[in-house]
Amino acid sequence: MQPLLLVWEESQILLRILNGSFQTLDVIKERIFHDLFCSKANLDVIDMRQDNIVQNVNRDEQGSKDWSSKGNESNQEGDSTVGFNVLDAMLKRSLDRLKSMRERILSAEAGISNCTLEINFNKDAYVVRAMCLDGKLGAALSLWWNMIQNSIVPDVITHNYLINGLCKNGELEKAEWIVRGMLYRGPSPTCAAYNSLIRGYCLMNDVDKALNTFSTMANHGIIPNRVTCNILVHALCKKGLLEQAKNLFYKLLSKNHVRGSSDLITSTIMMDGCFKNGDTDQALAFWKRMLKERIQVDKVSYNVVVHGFCLSHDEGTAYKYSCEMLKLGFVPDVYSYNTLVGALCRQGKTSDACYIYDVMTRMGVIPDQITYKMVIHGLCINKEIDRATCFLDYMLENSIIPEPLVWNVIIDGYGRCGDIQKASYIRGKMVAFGVLPNIYTYNALIYAQIKSGNFSAAQSLEKEMLLYGLTPDSVTYNLLIGAACNLGLLHSALQLHDELLRKGCQPDVITYTELLKLFCLQGMMREADKLFGKLLASGLAVDHVPFLILMKRYCRMREYNKVYDLYQQWLMTMPR
DNA sequence: ATAGGGTTAG
């Protein structure tokens, strides 16, 4: 077993203790809410307060987790001491949290009589916000418009919720329209509103428009903040414009003489960008700068480093950082586990990947679609299809309905192993769970049938997909044409080729090669030469296969001049 | 209070 796996075992004990205390806290939390509800008459007002409390509790929880990591930094005595310190800190935090919750409840109680009016007045605004967070933007917009028409102008924050929701939905025009309305009738848009717009444009891959909005801000006297820069740095990195991103980063540094945790996110973005653009050295330079400047790194930045080394296929170093992260007391989350699972699957170490899956579930980290997708994909590549199907069942047991890709990978896996029964069974299950088969599903099924020599079954599958409104692609046609060619069914092959063209599908090198093979087999050399000329004129990247097929044939026909010509032609296509 | 960083990829 790898050393990494031993560390996981060790850390498990510590993390179980942590999980246990969080569960205890949840029980306490529930009890308090229960008491709160039973002792109050005006539930309406309590509702609002409860939201506040929940938010604060969540924030506190976040805080205490962060603390645990900082606390470990200064403690070099050993892992058990670290564990107790973390636990102590958590208990202290939870007591503080209970105290502040109690205070909040008391003050809510005291303020009920004079708060009711004000809260009810703002209620619509809160509904607008809630609807925005829920993605129900149409409803949010109409309620907001209703308010405006009744001369009730909601506050800036509510407006920002709307703008942000619209931007995340890609409805930039509507968001811009709201901002224009704000400039005209108030409240004046804040930096957050513009940040939402900028991010919205970045998500639409329109960095120019984002930069445009960035300069518009200044015209309205709004100074971009760090978040604005983070959004832009991120977008520039994603576009591969590392130099521009770096420039912005250093400009930001020079503006902020006070360095602190705020550097963390920007640095993490830069590091991630460098890793993803293949510049590991530059990424490490950012990491070292962070350590040198005594910026408290966090779980996310560790996840970025681990993933970065996985990207550059240096899994050993990735594991090293992953262990370092554990030793510092960071509790791995779904990103940490998924990164490892992904790396192990890529290396074909499916057993280790399954082991990590096991560890994460035991730690109470719930595997998500991505975890399952990677494990299932990895197992199918390794031809462990039955094992992959087990994971499919785990997903279904946990009420995660996989996207078509996951089903298709398994169907394809069974097909490649020649197990049509199981492939069809999975297709049936997929339909039963309400997931519609797509073109890849059919291509996998067609492949399975062809591999088992059932050309007519493959053909009826093609008819079936047309019936369901799916258009076969070049892969479908290549499979069918290839099968027809191998069976020497000249007529079927040409008919399929004809159908391909009629459907507006572009034949690719494979299509041409299959047909070429057929013409050669049938001794139709005039057609073969004509098709070959068409292939060379098509502009498609031609590999050696069509040349070899023709040369072999002409060899057998003893037309050595032809063979020589082809050989010369082939040399011409090679890079010099 | 609202806005910002990390996991996949036929």
Q: What is the dihedral sign for C-alpha A551, A555, A556, A557?
A: positive
Q: Phi/psi of residue A349, each to 5°?
A: -90, 70
Whether cis (ω within 30° of 0) applies to the bond prior to A187 is: yes
pLDDT for res A294: 85
Q: Is A263 (CB) below 7 Å from strand B?
A: no
Any residues with CB less than 8 A from the CB of A250 and at least 6 apart, and which? none
Give the tokens for residue A458.
């493959």
Q: Quick: pLDDT tens for A472-511.
A: 888 899 999 988 888 888 888 888 888 888 888 888 888 8
Q: Which nucleotides of B are covered by protein (CB under 7 A)?
A: 1-10
Tell me which long-range contacts A313-317 makes (C-beta under 8 A, separation of at least 24). Answer: A314/A280, A315/A343, A315/A347
Pair A448, A432: CB distance under 8 Å: no
Pull the structure tokens for residue A2: 């790898």
The parts of chain A modelled with pLDDT lower than 50 are 1-19, 22, 24-88, 91, 94-95, 98-120, 257-258, 260
pLDDT at residue A1, as a whole number: 40
- What is the length of chain A? 576
* Residue nearest the C1' of B8 (CA based): A370
Could you tell me where the beta strands, DSSP code E, fall in A270-419? none
Cβ partners under 8 Å of residue A509, min gap 6: A535, A540, A541, A542, A543, A545, A546
pLDDT (0 to 100) of residue A576: 60
Task: Give the C-alpha separation, A121 to A133, whole Å.
Answer: 21
Q: Which of residues 185-224 of A touch strand B (CB under 7 A)?
A: 190-193, 195-196, 199
Selection from A262, A248, A324 nearest residue A295 by Cα: A262
Measuring from the CA of residue A409 to each C1', which nucleotide is nearest? B10
Q: Which nucleotide is nearest to A165 (CA to C1')?
A: B2
A237 φ/ψ angles, rounded to the nearest 5 degrees? -60, -45
| H or E stretch at A425 | helix A420-432
Q: From residue A520, give the alpha-carbon distance in Å to each of A160, A371, A482, A554, A562.
A: 68, 48, 14, 9, 14
The two structure tokens encoding residue A133: 């967070």
Structure tokens at A74: 């200064």
